[in-house]
Amino acid sequence: MKQALLSLILFATFFSPRVAMCDETSSLALLVQAIGKTDNDAMRQSLLTGMLKGLEGRRQVQTPDGWKELSQTLSQAETANVRELTMQLSQVFGDVEATELALLAIRDPSAEITLRKTALRSLLVQQNEEASDALESLLDDPDLNLDAIRGFAMIENATAPAVLLSRYEAMDSNQKAAVIETLATRKFYARHLLEAVESKRINRDQIPVHVVRALKEILGGDFEGVFGELKSLGEDREKLLAKYKAMLTPEVLAKASASRGRAVYQKTCANCHLLYDEGGDIGPELTGSNRANLDYILLNSIDPSYDVAEGYRTVTVATEDGRLVMGVVAEEDATKLVLKTVEDPRLVIAKEDIEARKISEKSMMPDGQLEQMEQKEVIDLIKYLQTTKQVEVAK
């Protein structure tokens, strides 16, 4: 508890917007001194975590006085987390040796998997081209293939569309979803994805609605030439509400399977919503919501943008290097914006990398999810959403 409290105090002191803008280097030097005064690895880990948190998403930050000597000491620490945190911070400070060590780690299949994942993400945040070039080979590594697929979104790579699409057919469902989401992050990538849909290499039904939104944002008229104009289902709200209320009678729901409904939920809703401690943290938690009320469930499913709380409105961010990201704001300070996205529960973007951002009145939850399901799936899903305790998932 004392360690966590000290870390928070130091974080608040040295990385508040006021201090960070005034004299970041001096503040960092003071923190380096504080870390150097303890030989307790648990305390070091807590302080290094706070330091890295304050610099999250940043790169090529001026090295503070004393860091070179301290990092040499910490690289010999008994605790692996202290060594890893030290390596990550050294990369943020542009240390060539730390970068080389991280590159060696991602290429070494015998290295600890957590270290390799952390090293890869850190290198990509630092916009390291060698790490980007290594992604193709990492697609063959079962421990890192999903990380590698998503890594292509972080740095534009001319080979990415051809590499990912050539392997698409042999991939499992999670890998295919990651490929589609990755190819919808940059204009160059998105054109290849649209061509794959047009040529039927990828079925249109495999493109989830949140990706369709991103494609429309990036490609505009070219997108509509293939997908047609997107219609807001809010325009037909009352008609759809009547349709589903007629379908979901008490007699029909009594015969439905909540277990099968849970399987549908895992496929369609769990990425964004938490229910019975299972699922994502992008949209509102459903456990305590008014799920017994059929009207409530249907309105929020049919037209999720009907009444969106400010904290759940979609934010679209365009970065200086051409990446498009859509999510909801998790936190923000003077140096960074943190988004929760379908692909990443904590996507950090440095403020200096943002070219433009806009807030939509729309929810992150896409329109028309029920319309994409078979009638039996809708009935089972509603049955599950109305449960008062968790059920076994259907096999």
List the CATH number of the domain containing 347. Answer: 2.30.30.100
Given a cut of 80, is residue 23 above it in pLDDT? no
Q: Does 264 reside within a domain?
A: yes
Which pLDDT score is estimated for 98?
A: 93
Q: Does 10 reside within a domain?
A: yes
**266 and 171 together in one domain:** no
Q: What is the pLDDT of residues 311-323, one digit of tens each?
A: 778 899 999 999 9
Given a cut of 50, is residue 152 above it in pLDDT? yes
Average the pLDDT over 196-221 and give the result. 86
**245 and 381 together in one domain:** yes
Handedness of CA 286, 291, 296, 300 (dihedral sign): positive
Which pLDDT score is estimated for 360?
A: 80
Q: Which of 92, 149, 97, 100 is nearest to 125 (CA)?
A: 92
Instruction: Please say which residue of 49, 70, 94 terminates a domain.
Output: 94
- Structural element, H or E, at residue 363: strand 354-363
Percentage, residues of the chain above pLDDT 70? 89
Burial of 374 (0-12, 13-18, 19+ CB in 10 A): exposed
| Number of domains the chain is built from | 4
Given a cut of 80, is residue 378 above it in pLDDT? yes
SS3 324: strand
What is the pTM for the complete model shown? Answer: 0.77
Q: Which of 235, 251, 205 is nearest to 373 (CA)?
A: 205
Expressed as residue numbers, the domain containing 335 is 310-363
**207 and 243 together in one domain:** no
**76 and 172 together in one domain:** no
Exposure pattern of 102-114 as b/e (b: 16+ CB <10 Å)? bbebbbeeeeeee
Average the pLDDT over 236-241 and give the result. 81
